[in-house]
Amino acid sequence: MGMSGKVSETRLRVLEFLVGYMESHRSAPTREEMAVAVGLGPRSSIQYHIDSLVEDGYVERTIYRHRMIRPTESGINAIKRLRIIDASDS
């Protein structure tokens, strides 16, 4: 699914949380909020997954917004596809 191969389950959960959070809050969650939401430990662990999502083109850094990350169009579309698949399985 990823631009450079398959995206790990953990990264998908991070991306899904980020997209959902931003849909309802209009700002990015803190690293700590993301780590807790996806069941990760230290903040450095969540940063590793964010860096990987940036590298794969699903998340971008921005200097103009609070907390400095946001999902890219590719990231949003990946989560939309995932939601469609999940809905069809129900």
pLDDT tens sequence across 19-78: 999 999 988 899 999 999 999 987 778 999 999 999 999 999 987 766 689 999 999 998
4 pLDDT band, cuts 50/70/90, is very low
Q: Domain for residue 90, yes or no?
A: no
Question: pLDDT value at position 6?
Answer: 63
What average pLDDT does the segment 8-17 reach? 92
- Into how many domains does the chain fold? 1
Nearest to 67 by CA among 20, 22, 7: 22
Cα angle at 67 between 1 and 54, to 5 degrees? 25
CATH of the domain at 76: 1.10.10.10
Q: Domain for residue 4, yes or no?
A: no
Question: pLDDT value at position 18?
Answer: 95
Question: pLDDT value at position 2?
Answer: 42
Q: Domain for residue 66, yes or no?
A: yes
Q: How many angstroms separate the Cα of 45 from the Cα of each of 8, 25, 61, 73, 81?
A: 14, 23, 18, 24, 26
Which residue range is the domain that position 42 belongs to? 9-84
Phi, psi of 5 (to 5 degrees): 125, -165
